[in-house]
Structure 1
Amino acid sequence: MGYSNSFMITLSVSERSTILLLIVVLNIVANGHPLVPALFIFGDSFVDVGNNNQLLTVIKANFPPYGRDFENHNPTGRFSNGKLAIDFIAETIGFTSSPPAYLNLDIKGNSLLNGANFASAGSGLLDHTGRQHNIYALGARKIGLSTIPPMGCLPVAITAVGLHSNECVPWLNYAALNFNQKLNTISQDFKQMLPGINLVILDMYQPLYDMVTKPSDYGFFEARKGCCGTGLVETSIMCNQMSIGTCANASQYVFWDGMHPTEATNKILADHLVAAGTSLISKSNLSVHIVDLLDLNLFPFYPNQTFISSHCGNTRLECVCYWSDTLKCT
């Protein structure tokens, strides 16, 4: 089959970067070699793939209509109608599926060598567990840290404090931007302090803000409300099969419930995050030494669990750590 060489397309810098990255990724995936051999994910409900299913909490998503567009229409505990951004990221860099929820793993040990997801919906960042240099001391050199999203644009935020407006709440977005600016400053400080670290800020704020404020540019019809129920406040147990008004086609919505993106939105976010983190998934110098995570008291919500080092010892692993906006780790 022949192809004309007269076709021309004009791309922005970001589009060129994304397409170049996808060409490299597709080539490696076609050869059966993921860009990294393991993924370890820490964060909150934006990246929780089912850990909260095993926890005594009302913050769950393992019931319909959550997961209705996931494989086999299965509610896995993901806070969306389908895949999360981390699912798309894992697939893009060559994995057949996203790392499983740690608490859903029947057998630990060697199964962790391929990665695991430690995210828990509702988790937060604590002062004494927010020091990234502890992970660095254990050998981690490649870290992707996402910014927090435009909190003032979440449907539940507009409903609660938007003063009867349908626009994003400015002061909440200012707070998010201020946090993200400080996050960037701190990351620069870490780069100066810690030789050899590759710490990349992955911007979630701007792409999600753009989708909310210019939804038609991304193929969306609705950005003020989520798909589930009224779309104004429902999330977790409030988004259920009894919720009246749930939309028929979530792909037209930016948000699935009052807080969390739809699968369609997550796909766009994943493309942006992968493009921003190209240095984290380059094939050179990927080794990260994972040892006893319990020494850092990283996961207080997983009591009496044995982590990687008890099975890996001093084995050197290659991995990338993706962190969401609120963390239980350093």
Structure 2
Amino acid sequence: METIVFPFSSKFLWAKYLLVFALFISAKALIKLPINGTIPAVIVFGDSIVDAGNNNDLNTVIRCDFLPYGQDFAGGVPTGRFCNGKVPSDLIAEELGIKDIVPAYLDPTLKTQDLLTGVTFASGGTGYDPLTPKLASVISLGEQLNYFKEYIRKLKAIAGEEKTNFILAKSMFLVVAGSDDIANTYFVLRARKLQYDVPAYTDLMVNSAAEFVKELYGLGARKIGVFSTPPIGCVPSQRTLGGGIERECAEDYNVAAILFNKKLSSVLNSFKTSMPDGRFVYIDVYNPLLGLIQNPQKNGFEVVDNGCCGTGNIEVAILCNKLSPSTCTDVSKYIFWDSYHPTEKAYRALVTLILQNIIGDFF
């Protein structure tokens, strides 16, 4: 990896850099930040919603580095994003004016400059429950944290201690997990049902989430946004598996998601007292996505209960491939790309709405 040397020995030059950076970001940003507010990087952890290719070289079925994934990404290239195009972390960085995409930390073509503006450590199929990544043979949140520690060491080597501390304190950290715990580990595989009822299992999840956030804080993060779980019972695959013959939303899945979200919101709110110099932001995606599903025409969608890929009922990851029959010809009509993940168009609608509502909470 190429080494960049920055002239940080002079306080004047350091201050000048910050001023130029702030002006550059404000000029490009689509979302208006508070006066004197700056976000130099977007640093991401979690699951397939924000994985940009970290699973590509893993021995797992939870991967998507093949067409038709990425068909609408720049150049029509499958990058390992579980989408037809960009994923939320890309769109958030784009809206903030930082850069067009947030690359995977394990991408072998990762550029040195990308360390300065953010990467994603996310791994599709992981979760707060430590059993979840084991079942899927993917990267756990604990392992993602170890990669983050390595990232900090690299950042210090290329940018110095002062700038590294600035990046950690001012960047937007995003954590996106929980869906695979509820949908796969608990309901589909039933791997925890004998040990835990839903209230106890959501306690396990939220305790793990809380510890992860505290670990990030301990490593220097101060602006941490944690996504709620979505209405997971309404994604196409879970309608198929748990929604009965009519493929309605699987309400028991959604009840679990709502319970977890309530607990997550409460614990993040409590951190405002115990860690007052931090900003801990609960990011509600449950209600915005449910609104999109219940009122699709408002945003130009037509299909809510099937994905575009294949039949749209069950295909995801390796089951969604270039041999999948009946893949749709007009993805713009669909909220879901495969049977589990939204399309870029749906993500754009959600990100624009969500960012406008929560950006002030990071300052």
TM class, shorter-length: 0.7 to 0.9
Q: Which moved more, 1:68-77 or 1:34-43?
A: 34-43
- Contact 1:143/1:199 (CA < 8 Å) preserved in 2? yes
State the distance in 1 between where 2:68 and 2:119 align. Answer: 25
Select which of 162, 168, 182 maps to 2:249: 168
| Gap runs ≥5 in structure 2 | 1-22, 131-203
> Which residue number corresponds to residue 29 of structure 1?
28
Cα deviation code 1:167-224 (max 9, x no counterpart): 2121111111111001011111111211222111111111111111111122101001
> Which residue number corresponds to residue 251 of structure 1?
332
Structure 2 length-normalised TM: 0.66
How far residue 281 of structure 1 moved from its aligned partner, in angstroms, is 5.6
State the distance in 2 between where 1:186 and 1:25 align. Answer: 35
Select which of 92, 99, 103 maps to 1:100: 103
How far residue 54 of structure 1 moved from its aligned partner, in angstroms, is 2.2
Structure 1 length-normalised TM: 0.73
> Which residue number corresponds to residue 140 of structure 1?
221
Q: Secondary structure at the match of 2:287?
A: helix
How far residue 235 of structure 1 moved from its aligned partner, in angstroms, is 0.1
> Which residue number corresponds to residue 233 of structure 2?
152
- Contact 1:184/1:201 (CA < 8 Å) preserved in 2? yes
How far residue 135 of structure 1 moved from its aligned partner, in angstroms, is 2.1
Select which of 221, 226, 236 maps to 2:317: 236
Q: Secondary structure at the match of 1:199?
A: strand
RMSD over aligned CA atoms reads 2.5
Equivalent positions of 1:210-289 (< 5 A) are 210-279=291-360
Cα deviation code 1:284-310 (max 9, x no counterpart): xxxxxxxxxxxxxxxxxxxxxxxxxxx
1:41 aligns to 2:44 (yes or no): yes
State the distance in 2 between where 1:218 and 1:199 align. Answer: 30
Closer, same or farther in 2 for the Cα pair 1:182/1:247, shift >3 Å? same
Q: Secondary structure at the match of 2:290?
A: helix
Q: Secondary structure at the match of 2:55?
A: helix
- Contact 1:155/1:225 (CA < 8 Å) preserved in 2? yes
Cα deviation code 1:112-163 (max 9, x no counterpart): 2221110100111146854122222233221111101001101000101111
Closer, same or farther in 2 for the Cα pair 1:129/1:25, shift >3 Å? farther
How far residue 96 of structure 1 moved from its aligned partner, in angstroms, is 2.8
How far residue 110 of structure 1 moved from its aligned partner, in angstroms, is 6.4
Letter of the 1:71 partner, please give it: A
- Contact 2:28/2:97 (CA < 8 Å) preserved in 1? yes
Q: Secondary structure at the match of 1:144?
A: strand
Q: Which has the higher helix share?
A: 2
1:68 aligns to 2:85 (yes or no): no
Letter of the 2:247 partner, please give it: N
How far residue 280 of structure 1 moved from its aligned partner, in angstroms, is 5.4
Letter of the 1:250 partner, please give it: V
Identity of aligned residues (%): 41
Closer, same or farther in 2 for the Cα pair 1:56/1:72, shift >3 Å? same
> Which residue number corresponds to residue 310 of structure 1?
none
Q: Secondary structure at the match of 1:143?
A: strand
> Which residue number corresponds to residue 50 of structure 1?
53
Closer, same or farther in 2 for the Cα pair 1:196/1:223, shift >3 Å? same
Letter of the 1:28 partner, please give it: A
State the distance in 1 between where 2:336 and 2:109 align. Answer: 32
Closer, same or farther in 2 for the Cα pair 1:30/1:259, shift >3 Å? closer
Q: Secondary structure at the match of 1:102?
A: coil
How far residue 100 of structure 1 moved from its aligned partner, in angstroms, is 1.2
1:189 aligns to 2:270 (yes or no): yes
Select which of 268, 282, 287 maps to 1:206: 287
Letter of the 1:220 partner, please give it: F
Letter of the 2:120 partner, please give it: N
Number of equivalenced pairs: 258
State the distance in 2 between where 1:262 and 1:55 align. Answer: 24
Closer, same or farther in 2 for the Cα pair 1:30/1:145, shift >3 Å? closer
State the distance in 1 between where 2:258 and 2:217 align. Answer: 26
Q: Which has the higher contact order (CA 8 A, sep 6+)?
A: 1
> Which residue number corresponds to residue 297 of structure 1?
none
- Contact 2:313/2:339 (CA < 8 Å) preserved in 1? yes
State the distance in 2 between where 1:207 and 1:236 align. Answer: 25
State the distance in 2 between where 1:148 and 1:111 align. Answer: 28
Q: Secondary structure at the match of 2:225?
A: strand
Letter of the 1:149 partner, please give it: P
State the distance in 2 between where 1:234 and 1:93 align. Answer: 33
| Gap runs ≥5 in structure 1 | 1-23, 283-330
